[in-house]
Chain A
């Protein structure tokens, strides 16, 4: 790692500066959504469908309305009178806000009660009578696309089947040719199961619409407050200048807090109609059954390989389970997100991917759960395939990767699906991780253990991500280009305020973004206050998800700091009576090149910016930048997991987990490592236990933390972290983003390790979550 260039007191890039946000959080003074209380606030509870598919013949809300303390009961019919029974989704579909005709999944919003107290609102839900007429539920995408399957979206014009979309990329002809040249084709069919980000704080809103002034102040657990303001303006027809979205402290997001959910629309409409603030905070069950699911792709991958272990081509067929509405949160032009990163870290010329999405009677959502839009699924598939290919060819899985890696000198490298990877040194990364874990010795231990009837497995994943969406020529969400912004003001005393379009949910922006300013201008990070999340007080941006804060918002921060540095140099030249071009800035000292004793500090310059300027210069030291990235960034890593599997029970335990990440320049190594440990845990969770599944009637199994298992400290493995640092060549500070790498890369490493333990028995696949009974069944079937 490069050493920091600023002293510790300044705390620029590379310092593990302590987090500014901690002070309030460790004293219980955080300000989360449910902590906000406005005078006269009413509370909303939502009645949800118990059935997965049913016609609504009538709703009787009389008894609920009559309950003391209930202010209003809102149904789909009432919303319809205001043109708000349906809302547009981020993927160009429409979604029911409150059901009017049918319910299409268990947990769908049917009615809402607004009451003076949350307990009363919940009591009233039980008094609402809904007359449902059962319809057959469709619980798999395969059933959904069968001839004659019941039509889920019968209200949707032009929709006469359950197909949501078809999408393909790559070159089918070149891919055919590659397969024709191959010595063998290795096939893997696997399901990336439905999962849920489940941040510890659920989603919520406090809508305060003033019916006299028309001012709507909306407190909301939002990863993208500016985009949400624009979407609120479009959906509700409110003038955008009268909408203020405030996203307060957020208790984790991981993609769950990107979409707009029906509850937000109902609460806002209710506040407008009633003229009082309305608060709605999801219960955990509501969170898990109705908002923001992720993944759910059935994938078939085929790899064309030679007997020497060279990869020639890749073919993928996928079917995704979209639930009842197509509401994926992802760039408009990408039906299956950035799945085409599926060619991974390997150099081969041909790939073809085709994908279908199907409606089912399940919750919609399709969020990128700690992932830059389906990159997790893609990375998983290629890393599983490469390992299986190594077994078929008869070479070591590490060697298989080394033979196929894109080499450092090949960058910039255009993949078979059109990404231009900017930089990397994959062989060094993998070799470093192999050495750390003691790979050769482990293989010997594995062989010895096998001889004793013990099952040890070593799993590798070498992933490449594509993050930081993105260049405006390609990336937009609902038409809004995926740029981001930073506004920097330096006050006369040399203290600064930085305002961002991105929004932290725990990533530490208040600290790391101040460090970028510290690096560029030499103002100590402690003197830079970072503001974010309030649309009235920050410049426009698309928000924080897809690891885009540092690649886009961080770049904007560096660029705006450099604009100020240029002005600061001119002011310093004036103060020092030197030529502009003779001034250099280093750690907050502006001096004349060659005579370091002729110098002023950035604080002197800040004061001069308001008191003593060169002729003709405008007062002040502030600016704003909107950054349009020239390319995505491509973080990568080599992860190695060692497990032992109990052959009698199928229980597996992680013995070692070595994770090497290259996220380019690390702004705050402590925070980066924290992100990686959290991400590895979520990757472990998906491979081992997290699972939103359904029975044949469409009942969600996994509707609370008793059934949807997330790892505690007891199950979570210990991690050994390593780093290399190949800076991104196009990012102003060489950073690539890191928040999602570990979630993207690690599931394949964990699953590959379990497969590796039983591969000699002929096992090539166990679907996630790799539950002990599935492992046992695989061993049993192979044996």
Chain B
């Protein structure tokens, strides 16, 4: 079936098998491999993307269901102005080790701070509780998301 999905600002139209998962469409058809797959039970969040601004697990959405929507993947976080604050905060606070969970974590973090400019430690932990990380023990991920929130608040306050 024909679907058109706007991914990171560009339209991708094409014929997909109805059963194609959004994650496979993004990775294999569109060729953006920053979105990862870590499980088969919707448990790990490695496949998280933003669909119309909301985090979804793209292993549990059909490409067909995403028809007409705007999807942001990790490759779409950086803009002409440079890295998204969540990206630089992950580096600065050592929020990643192997980096496999990182795209999903950053997208959930980005969507959280868009809604809640000053999330508490618990609010961040709750927001990322659908995303597993096996390397970091989360502590620096939480820190990075809060750093990004503070920096985003600062720069929007200053503008």
Residues of A within 8 A of B (CB): 18-19, 21-23, 25-30, 32, 34-35, 119, 197-202, 249-252, 254, 283-285, 505-508, 670-671, 673-675, 677-682, 704-706, 710, 712-714, 716, 718-719
Whether the Cβ atoms of B94 and A670 lie closer than 8 Å is: yes
A26 with B140: CB separation less than 8 A: no
Contact, CB under 8 Å: A28 / B73: yes
B33 to chain A, nearest CB (A): 4
- Do B96 and A22 touch (CB < 8 A)? yes
Could you say which residues of chain B place their CB within 8 Å of the CB of A705?
Answer: 39, 41, 43-44, 132
Among B104-159, those with CB < 8 Å from A are: 106, 124-126, 128-142
A254-B134, A704-B40, A710-B132 known; A27-B94 Cβ under 8 A: no
B 20-40 contacts with A by CB, 8 A: 20, 27, 32-40
With the chains together, A254 CA to B100 CA distance in Å? 14
Q: Complex: how many Å from CA A14 to CA B41? A: 42
Q: How far is the CB of A689 from chain B (nearest CB, A)?
A: 13
The reply to whether B38 and A674 form a contact with Cβ atoms under 8 Å apart is no
Question: Which of A18, A507, A714 interacts with B129 by CB under 8 Å?
Answer: A714
Partner of B133, one of A200, A670, A673, A719: A200
Q: Which of A30, A251, A254, A283 contacts B34 (CB 8 A)?
A: A30
A506 touches B39 (CB 8 A): no
Residues of B within 8 A of A704 (CB): 39-41, 43
Which residue from chain B places its CB closest to the CB of A682 in the assembled complex?
A: B134
B61 at the interface (CB under 8 A from A): no
Separation of A8 and B92 alpha carbons in the complex (Å): 16
Asked if B87 is at the interface of the complex by the 8 Å CB criterion, the answer is yes
CA distance A505 to B100 in the complex (A): 10
A680 to B138, CA, bound (A): 11
Q: Which residues of chain B are within 8 angstroms of A714 by Cβ–Cβ distance?
A: 125-126, 129
How many Å lie between the Cα of A26 and that of B90 in the bound state? 8
Question: Once the chains are docked, how many angstroms separate the CA of A227 from the CA of B41?
Answer: 34
- Are A283 and B103 in contact (CB-based, < 8 A)? no
How many angstroms from the CA of A25 to the CA of B105 in the assembled complex?
12
Report the contact-size class of chain B (Cβ under 8 Å from the partner).
35 or more
- Please tell me if B91 contacts chain A, counting CB pairs below 8 Å: yes
Contacts of A284 in B (CB 8 A): 38-41, 44
B86 to chain A: closest CB distance in Å? 9
**B44-A713 in contact (CB<8A):** no
Asked if residues B75 and A28 are in contact (CB atoms below 8 Å), the reply is yes
- B residues at A contact (CB < 8 Å): 17, 19-20, 27, 32-41, 43-44, 46, 73-75, 77-78, 83, 87, 90-92, 94, 96-103, 106, 124-126, 128-142
Residue among B101, B124, B134, B136 with max Cβ neighbours from chain A (10 Å): B134
- Does the CB pair A252–B138 fall under 8 Å? no
Across the interface, which residues of A come within 8 angstroms of B137, CB to CB? Answer: 677-681, 716, 719
Q: How far is the CA of A218 from the CA of B46 in the complex (A)?
A: 25
Whether A25 and B41, one on each chain, are in contact in the complex, defined by CB atoms closer than 8 angstroms, is no
Contact of B36 among A201, A507, A681 (CB under 8 A): A201
> Assuming A197-B134, A678-B136, what are 9 further A-B pairs, CB within 8 angstroms?
A27-B77, A28-B103, A35-B27, A199-B134, A200-B100, A201-B38, A705-B39, A712-B128, A713-B128
What is the interface of chain B mostly: helix, strand, loop, or mixed? loop
Q: Are A200 and B87 in contact (CB under 8 A)?
A: no
Chain B residue numbers with a CB within 8 Å of A198 are 134
Q: In the bound complex, do residue A119 and residue B17 qualify as a contact, i.e. CB atoms below 8 Å apart? A: yes
Measured CB to CB, the nearest residue on chain B to A684 is B137
**Which chain A residue has the least Cβ–Cβ distance from B128?**
A713
List chain A residues, Cβ under 8 A from B27: 34-35
**Closest chain B CB from A719 CB (angstroms):** 7
Q: When the two chains form their complex, are residues B41 and A706 in contact, meaning their CB atoms are under 8 A apart?
A: yes
Contact for A28 among B20, B74, B83, B91, CB less than 8 A: B74
B40 to chain A, nearest CB (A): 5
Query: Across the interface, do B78 and A506 meet the contact criterion of CB distance under 8 Å?
Result: no
A-B pairs with the 3 shortest C-beta distances?
Answer: A28-B34, A251-B100, A506-B98
* Given contacts A200-B132, A251-B36, A674 and B94 within 8 Å (CB-CB): yes
Residue contact B140 to A674, C-beta cutoff 8 Å:
yes
Considering the chains assembled together, what is the distance between the CA atoms of A26 and B140 in angstroms?
Answer: 14
Given the interface pairs A28-B33, A713-B142, the reply to whether A252 lies near B43 with Cβ below 8 Å is: no
CB-CB under 8 A for A26 and B102, given A34-B33, A202-B38, A678-B137: yes
CA distance A34 to B97 in the complex (A): 18
A22 touches B129 (CB 8 A): no
Contacts of B87 on A, CB cut-off 8 Å? Answer: 26-27
Q: Which residues of the other chain, A, contact B126 by a CB distance below 8 angstroms? A: 714
Report the Cα distance A689→B100, complex, angstroms.
Answer: 23
Given the complex, which residues of B lie within 8 Å of A677, measured CB to CB? 136-140
Q: Which B-chain residue is minimally distant from A714 (CB atoms)?
A: B129
Q: Is the CB of A25 within 8 A of B75?
A: no
Q: Which residues of B contact A678 (CB under 8 A)?
A: 97, 134-137
Contact between B136 and A674, CB atoms less than 8 A apart:
yes
Residue of A nearest to B17 (CB): A119
Q: How far is the CA of A507 from the CA of B96 in the complex (A)?
A: 10
Partner of B90, one of A22, A29, A202, A249: A22
Interchain CB contact under 8 A, A29 and B34: yes
A675 to B98, CA, bound (A): 11
User: Is there an interface contact between A199 and B98, defined as CB atoms closer than 8 Å?
Assistant: yes
Say which residue of A25, A32, A505, A681 sits within 8 Å of B96 (CB atoms): A25
Tell me the smallest distance from the CB of B123 to a CB of chain A, in Å.
11
Structural contact, B141 and A25, CB atoms closer than 8 A: no
Could you list 22 A-B pairs, sorted by A, with CB under 8 Å?
A: A26-B102, A27-B77, A27-B78, A28-B33, A29-B75, A30-B100, A200-B101, A200-B132, A200-B135, A201-B36, A249-B98, A251-B98, A252-B135, A283-B40, A678-B97, A681-B138, A706-B43, A712-B128, A712-B132, A713-B142, A716-B138, A719-B137
Given known contacts A506-B98, A705-B132, A718 and B139 CB-to-CB distance under 8 angstroms? yes
Whole-angstrom distance between the alpha carbons of A283 and B40 in the complex?
A: 7
Q: What is the bound-complex CA distance between A284 and B42, given in angstroms? A: 11
Q: Within 8 Å CB of A199, what residues of B?
A: 98, 100, 134
Contact A21 B99 (CB under 8 A): yes
Most buried by B among A197, A202, A507, A674: A674
Q: How distant is the Cα of A671 from the Cα of B98 in the complex, in angstroms?
A: 12
A250 vs B37: C-alpha distance when bound (angstroms): 13
User: Which of A35, A119, A201: most chain B Cβ within 10 A?
Assistant: A201
**Which residue of the partner chain A has the closest CB to B84?**
A26
B44 to chain A, nearest CB (A): 6
In contact, B34 and A506 (Cβ under 8 angstroms) = no
A759 to chain B, nearest CB (A): 28
* A250 contacts across to B, CB distance below 8 A: 98
Q: Please, how many angstroms separate the alpha-carbon atoms of A765 and B142 in the complex?
A: 35
**Residues A18 and B135 in contact in the complex (CB < 8 Å), given A26-B83, A27-B78, A705-B43:** no
Q: Which of A18, A25, A681 contacts B102 (CB 8 A)?
A: A25
Give the CA-CA distance A283 to B91 in the complex, in Å.
29
Residue pair A32, B100 in contact (C-beta under 8 Å): yes
Residue of B nearest to A710 (CB): B132
Cα A716 to Cα B139 with chains together (Å): 9
Q: Give which listed residue, A35, A202, A283, contacts B33 with CB less than 8 A.
A: A35
